Amino acid sequence: MMAINEDVIAWLVPATHCAAADKVMNNPANQSRIVATSDLPTLLPQISDSMTGITPSRAIQLCFNKAPKNHGRFMIGTDPKTCDIVFPKLYDASPSTPEVSSQHCSIGFDNDNRLTLDDISEWGTEVSYDWESSGRNTEFCWLLSGGNSGGFPSSVRNITIDILGARFQVFINPHTHTLQQWQSFVTKIDLMTELAYQDPAAFTMPSIFMIAPSEGDALEAYLWNSDCPWQPLVRVVDVLNSEPYISLHD
Residues spanned by the domain of 137: 8-202
Q: 218 in a domain, yes or no?
A: no
Q: 29 in a domain, yes or no?
A: yes
Other C-beta atoms lying within 10 Å of the C-beta of residue 118:
20
Q: Is 55 exposed, middle or buried (0-12, 13-18, 19+ CB in 10 A)?
A: middle
73 vs 178 pLDDT, higher one: 73
What is the total count of domains within the chain?
A: 1
Per residue in 188-213, pLDDT tens?
Answer: 888 887 755 554 444 333 444 444 55
Q: 88 in a domain, yes or no?
A: yes
Ranking 85-94, 100-109, 151-160, 177-186 by mean pLDDT, the lowest is 177-186
Q: 243 in a domain, yes or no?
A: no
Please work out, in degrees rounded to the nearest 5, the angle formed at the alpha carbon of residue 88 by the alpha carbons of 84 and 93: 140
Q: 211 in a domain, yes or no?
A: no
Q: 227 in a domain, yes or no?
A: no
Q: Cβ neighbours of residue 58 under 8 Å, at least 6 residues apart? A: 14, 25, 34, 35, 36, 37
Res 163 pLDDT > 90: yes
Residue 11, strand partner residues: 61, 171
Q: 120 in a domain, yes or no?
A: yes
**φ, ψ at 159 (rounded to 5°):** -115, 120
pTM: 0.73
Q: 54 in a domain, yes or no?
A: yes
CATH number at residue 37: 2.60.200.20
